[in-house]
Structure 1
């Protein structure tokens, strides 16, 4: 099927943000006097909303405590972590090919749009995307189901015309909640099993394979 509109997750799908995110989480935990895991143990934190990650890391349901952690995280992330990031090999070619095929492209990320736009711009991808959608700084629309619903409404899109691309179950859960076809990618931070459990249309192991699945 050839989808008219493609929604792309950012972290783990367009870019690999491992260094910036894990170092900023470690910084926040250190500032709070909490246990600081090794970076490799924080891979699972790439994808979910920050509040969800800190809820687990701090073992607390206290929103005020979570907010404090997020504030410390952003203290480092906005100054340094934002660009401790690399572009996924082959993704720029895929984006160019989709754009040339007259697909409408959007970014749909749990990351605040204020940060996400800077990252997309930094890697030279902005001309290919109509708009970068993300959460608000207070966490509003950090859940993918809410974010995708917002995009469909704002852009006047039909769910049947859209595909959502992501590397974690959250992307596919959000797509399913809005009757949007989901596609999983294996170069990010979710396992094949995690993605397959959400019944995506396809799971791709390379950007080229994703392009084929999207009808290029």
Structure 2
């Protein structure tokens, strides 16, 4: 029986395999700007942080004209073509149904723009499971995931010992560590165990979440 009452879910690499849409959109943005497209395996390693953080990794901290153009072209392509190029991981729907029926209170904490996260959940008939979606704005300053989780915990008055962050990458792990909540690492997502290092649970099959003790 799942011992946690409040569950914070990442999306990419946790609920959904989203690499197809992200790879397609970033490669197209590179082509539009006459850049050599990045290899698919390199793009997969970038999935997890916010788009601004990914752009900083690729182009450096300075907001050059090229960097901002690639960012905008990626976002436009993803919004029009890439957003629904994704697959739900096995056992996700059945597990969420069971958690919901057991009165677990669930949230989405994602580095996706909130509008895209909402569209995806609606398409898959999953919005009903989640009390709130904590995504990022399309424009303006994007706070790190740890800060957004902190604000959610405060707003919802959630006891830390009753909360569990569920995600696949280092940004998810840091969000948990910095907010003193337990962390369940999704091993089949985009993150790597050698960078995560510390977790309370290792999830190899999504349905394992039903029996955390």
Aligning the two structures, in what range does the TM-score lie when normalised by the shorter sequence? over 0.9
In structure 2, the partner of 1:57 is 58
Q: Any stretches of 5+ residues in structure 1 without a counterpart?
A: none
> SS state of the match for residue 184, structure 1?
strand
Alignment of 1:24-35 (within 5 A): 24-35=25-36
In structure 2, the partner of 1:158 is 159
Deviates more, 1:76-85 or 1:153-162: 153-162
Structure 2 CA distance for partners of 1:64 and 1:142, relative to 1, 3 Å: farther
Greater relative contact order (CA < 8 Å, ≥ 6 in sequence): 2
In structure 2, the partner of 1:138 is 139
Deviates more, 1:64-73 or 1:45-54: 64-73
Equivalent pair of 1:45/1:53 in contact (CA under 8 Å): yes
Structure 2 CA distance for partners of 1:63 and 1:154, relative to 1, 3 Å: farther
Aligned residues: 211
Q: Structure 1 residue runs of 4+, over 4 Å off?
A: none
Normalising by structure 2, report the TM-score: 0.92
Alignment of 1:70-85 (within 5 A): 70-85=71-86
In structure 2, the partner of 1:204 is 203
> SS state of the match for residue 79, structure 1?
helix
In structure 2, the partner of 1:170 is 171
> SS state of the match for residue 83, structure 2?
helix
Normalising by structure 1, report the TM-score: 0.91
Alignment of 1:1-216 (within 5 A): 2-58=3-59, 60-65=60-65, 66-138=67-139, 140-195=141-196, 197=197, 199-213=198-212, 215=213
Q: Any stretches of 5+ residues in structure 2 without a counterpart?
A: none
Q: Deviations along 1:168-199, whole A, 9 cap, x unmatched? A: 0110101111111111011111122222x2x2
> SS state of the match for residue 177, structure 2?
helix
Equivalent pair of 1:160/1:180 in contact (CA under 8 Å): yes
> SS state of the match for residue 106, structure 2?
strand
| Shift, 1:64, TM fit | 4.4
